[in-house]
Structures are given as C-alpha cells and as structure tokens.
Structure 1
Amino acid sequence: METIANNRCFEGEQLRLAHRAESLGCDMHFSLYLPPGARAGNVPLLYWLSGLTCTDENFVQKAGAQRYAAEHGVAIVAPDTSPRGDEVADDPEGAWDFGLGAGFYVNATEAPWSRHYRMYDYISEELPALLARHFPVDTERASIFGHSMGGHGALVIALRNPAHYQSVSAFAPIVAPTRCPWGEKALGHYLGPDREAWKNYDTCELIRAGALQLPMLVDQGEADNFLEEQLKTELLEATCADTGYEATIRRQPGYDHSYFFISSFIGSHIAFHARELEKSVSDD
C-alpha cells in the first residue's frame, strides 16, 4: 500500500492510494475520504463507482461529496473504473466505451479480457477486505452508489449481494445493458455471445428474477443526451412497477449527464445512505 496524496478536507482526510490488486493482476489506485470522526473509531463506508473514461480522481475533485460525508460521518471510497497497465488489454480500435476506463464492473470470461477484467470481484471482495485491514472503516455498515456505467455497477453489485449493503443509489445508470449499445458491446466482448450470461449484470433482469428489496434511489436528468439510447430509465420504471420492487426514481428537468448534475444532488444521496446506515445500527 502506497499513499500517493493526502489532503486535509472539511477537517477530514482525502487520500489517494496505490496497491497491487490480486483479483485484477495489476497495480490499482483508489481514493478514500475519511471524515473527522474516523480519528475516533471506525465509520460507515460508501462505495462510489464512476462512469466511462473516469478514474478514481474524477469524483473526489468534481462531486463536492466531502462536505456531506464529513457532516454525516461516513467515509467514501472511489476505486478506478478498470484494470490499468501496459499489460492490460484495451479496445483494439481505441474507442472510449470499452477496455481501459470501461471495465463495466463485470468478471470477464473471454480472452484476453478474462486475465485482468474482474472488476466485480475487486469491488465486492478484494477492496472491502483491503479497506477493513488498513483503515478505520466499518465494511459491515456499507452502502454503494455510482454514475452511468458506475450506476449500473452499483445497482448490480448491490442486488447480487444484498447482505453486504444497506442501500444503493445511482445517477443516470445504465439500467439494461443487455438492451443498449454500450452494454451490448461490453458484455459481448467480456462475457461472450451467450446473452443469458449477460443477465447477471443487468439491473432490470435481476429485479425481474426476484432480487431482494433494498432501499434504492435513482436520479436521472431529463436533458441527458444518453437517456434515450443508452440509459433507458423507462425500463427500470416499468420493471419496478411490474414486480412491485420499491425504488425512488426521480427525473430531474434540465439536468444533463455531467458532474454538474451529480454535484447538484450528491448531498441528498449521501443523506439517503446515512439514514439507512443509521437504521442498520438501530436494527442491531
């Protein structure tokens, strides 16, 4: 573990760290905000998963989340969006929607991607264990959220591991990657041609298959230029209505796909998770 940066922020610490990720077979970076309360003991943890082309740094520099994390006494970890390194395969055409920066939070099964692209295992298993060993965070009191591709990742990982997260939320998530160009390209390459295997990484398919109820919040900007072709929020709305799955899905007029959108509502998402994390203590 190597500390790359440590900046004081709202009386807490914004860290950037590097380590060897065994599940990915490469060196990785992640960013971690520790609120001031972490100096007194373990604090609850939020996982943030970023979108296409992002690294671990976009969220911590643009979202303005640290202020709210400090107020609510929660830590936020922001991992990178894919494996990295010269040995890691990339889109042979150099496209931005696949390969480096576009891991889609899956465990790839197809060569050459299966050698490194195991972001599902990294987020759900390796990173929590690493954080629990080295930092004052309580990984048993955790929630997860993300944006776009990361919103897809957060929803899928939470729905497949409901005992590990108290709540899940997303900004402009890809809710049905089996039915949009970004998802069809990524899942086709990472998982191969068997579309049944793709359903394990599709939020709508998981809910229809009987995923357990979790507190869920989704914000979608109505001026998002990816809404109609890639994000397809209406499919999640229909799926929840058909199955009785309870989710708060808010359409926000005038907001686009950018971090201006995220920064406008990040406070309400962190407050949402903080309430659910507090409930988990009361339930215990």
Structure 2
Amino acid sequence: MAMMELLSQHAAFGGSQRFYRHDSREIGLPMRFALFLPPRPRALLVYLAGLTCSEETFTMKAGAQQMAAELGLALLMPDTSPRGANIPGEAESWDFGLAASFYLDATEPPWNRHWRMESYLLEELLPRVGAEFGLAALPLGLFGHSMGGHGALTLALRHPGRFGSVSAFAPVCAPTQCPWGRKAFAGYLGADERAWAAHDASLLMRVQPRPPYPGGILIDQGLADKFLAEQLRPELFEAACAAVGQPLTLRRHEGYDHGYYFVASFVDDHLQHHAHQLLG
C-alpha cells in the first residue's frame, strides 16, 4: 500500500491541521485530503465540499477547528473529485459540475475509469485514515455543502448504520429535478433515469422503511442563495422527511448567500449537532 505523503502540518487550537497526498487504488490517480486532529479525538466528522472546491476550501474558510478542538471532533476533508485524468472536456465540464463527482461511482465511459468517489470515500479513504491515525473505533458523522451536502445526505441514506449523524449546508436536495444534477447524472450514470433515483436524497428518503436518523437531520439554507429555487430544492427533501416521519431541522436564513461566509456563520451549530448525536 502506497504511503500517505504529508504535505504540510500546522498547530491549531492545541491540535494539528494536516494536508496529505496519496495514490488511490479506487480512483487510479493521486488524491489529496485535509485532516484536523484535536488534542483528544472523540469522534470523526467527514466534510464533503461543493462544486469548484477542494480539500482546502472548508479547511481554510469555515473556521471550524476551534469548536472541533473543544468538542473533540477530528475533521476529515477529502478533495471533491479526481484531478488530472486528461479526459477530453474534463476542464470545461467543471463549469457545469460534471467533473465535480457528485460523490458517486460513475458507470458510463469515460468517467467510470476514475470517477469512483463513493467507493473511494467509504472503502478506501475512511478505512485508511481510521487505521493510520487511530480513529477507526470512533463514532462517525457526515456533513457537507452544496454538491457536498448532496453527497452527505445521499451517502448517509445509502449506507445505513455507517454514519451516526448527518447535516448539510445548502445541499442539492433533488438532483434528478435540477439542471446541475440532471447533467451530471446523464454523464455519469447514462440516460436511464431509473438509475438516478439511487443518488437523489429526496427520493431515497421517501423509500426509507423507518426514519433513518431518529435524532434528527440539520440543514441550513440561505434565502439570498442564487441557486436556491432552481438547483437546491430543499422543500422537496423537507416533504420527503415529513412523509416518512424523519425529524428534520431546516433553518432558512434571511440575507445569507451560498458562500463560505454563510457556512462559517453556522458551522459551530453543525459541529455541536454532530457532537450531540455521536457523543451524547
């Protein structure tokens, strides 16, 4: 197994903020991730970033480390997508989100060779990080922003029992019913829309036999978000949760947009939500 290369590390709030690179078996390309280790880790949270972002975005802009250190939460921030595959059109496709992974395993060429983010996260990165940093026995939570909020909700629903808590900032809640999702799913999963439903949080929630997160899901959404009406559709996830009795706290905030000032404004609430769910 290839070694993880430590790119940099920085003392932060009594802990250590680190950046790593490693050769990925699932992706077939080098991948990067950031890891914040508090002085005494009690739980591990995975944060999934959105379109055009990387492992650095949340790490440097959200201001999460102080509260994470106080609560004993280790933070794992993977990159959003494979990079450098040299697929024709890859660079241009960042503009509409296709190359930005949507945190699934593609089935259609040319994307299916490297775009295996679901398997990468769950079958490779999490086990390796858990083993190499002594975090494998800790309770696990998942959250994200925008496309990463979609990833957090869908992966939490697709893998019952794997995560003890979930939350999201301005998630893409119904990708089968928005332009970003439809373009990405057509590219990654093909034209048969029946395959898309397995990666749509609103549709996944509606087929749950019982509320999967009885302690509650937290979502924050800015009402000045320019993507709200066309791309995000939180009302559809809200209705799906109501249909199956899933407790949901969906907070709508006047004046807040889609960016990281919004995320930073409410990140402490999300960390506390996860600490309550995971640690009691």
Give TM-score, length-normalised by structure 2: 0.94
1:148 equivalent in structure 2:
146
Instruction: After superposing the two structures, state which structure 1 stretch, 58-67 or 203-212, moved more.
Output: 203-212
8 Å contact from structure 1 (residues 53, 97) kept in 2: no
Task: Give the secondary-structure state (helix, strand or coil) at the position aligned to 1:45.
Answer: strand
1:91 equivalent in structure 2:
90
**Between Structure 1 and Structure 2, how many residues are aligned?**
274
Relative to structure 1, is the Cα distance of residues 179 and 99 closer, same or farther in structure 2, using a 3 angstrom cutoff? Answer: closer
1:167 equivalent in structure 2:
165
Relative to structure 1, is the Cα distance of residues 197 and 132 closer, same or farther in structure 2, using a 3 angstrom cutoff? Answer: same
2:256 equivalent in structure 1:
255
Give TM-score, length-normalised by structure 1: 0.93
1:117 equivalent in structure 2:
115
2:39 equivalent in structure 1:
36
Shift of 1:232: 0.8
Shift of 1:227: 0.1
Task: Give the secondary-structure state (helix, strand or coil) at the position aligned to 2:119.
Answer: helix
Task: Give the secondary-structure state (helix, strand or coil) at the position aligned to 1:30.
Answer: strand
Q: Tell me which amino acid in the other structure corresponds to 1:210.
A: Q
1:182 equivalent in structure 2:
180
1:239 equivalent in structure 2:
240
Q: Within 1, Cα distance between the matches of 2:190 and 2:37?
A: 39
Task: Give the secondary-structure state (helix, strand or coil) at the position aligned to 1:37.
Answer: coil
Deviations 1:51-96 (A, max 9, x none): 0000000001000000111010010000000011244565374442
Q: Within 2, Cα distance between the matches of 1:198 and 1:86?
A: 24
Relative to structure 1, is the Cα distance of residues 35 and 92 closer, same or farther in structure 2, using a 3 angstrom cutoff? Answer: closer
Whether 1:49 aligns to 2:48 is yes
8 Å contact from structure 2 (residues 43, 279) kept in 1: no
1:69 equivalent in structure 2:
68
Shift of 1:97: 2.5
Task: Give the secondary-structure state (helix, strand or coil) at the position aligned to 2:40.
Answer: helix
8 Å contact from structure 1 (residues 91, 98) kept in 2: no
Whether 1:272 aligns to 2:273 is yes
1:107 equivalent in structure 2:
105
The one of 13, 22, 25 aligned to 1:19: 22
Task: Give the secondary-structure state (helix, strand or coil) at the position aligned to 1:25.
Answer: coil
Give the aligned CA root-mean-square deviation in angstroms: 1.4
Shift of 1:160: 1.1
Q: Within 1, Cα distance between the matches of 2:91 and 2:47?
A: 28
1:282 equivalent in structure 2:
none
Q: Within 1, Cα distance between the matches of 2:58 and 2:162?
A: 23
Q: Tell me which amino acid in the other structure corresponds to 1:34.
A: L
1:2 equivalent in structure 2:
5
Equivalent residues in 2 for 1:164-243, closer than 5 Å? 164-210=162-208, 212-214=211-213, 215-243=216-244
Q: Tell me which amino acid in the other structure corresponds to 1:154.
A: A
Q: Within 1, Cα distance between the matches of 2:39 and 2:91?
A: 45
Task: Give the secondary-structure state (helix, strand or coil) at the position aligned to 2:76.
Answer: strand
Q: Within 2, Cα distance between the matches of 1:54 and 1:182?
A: 15
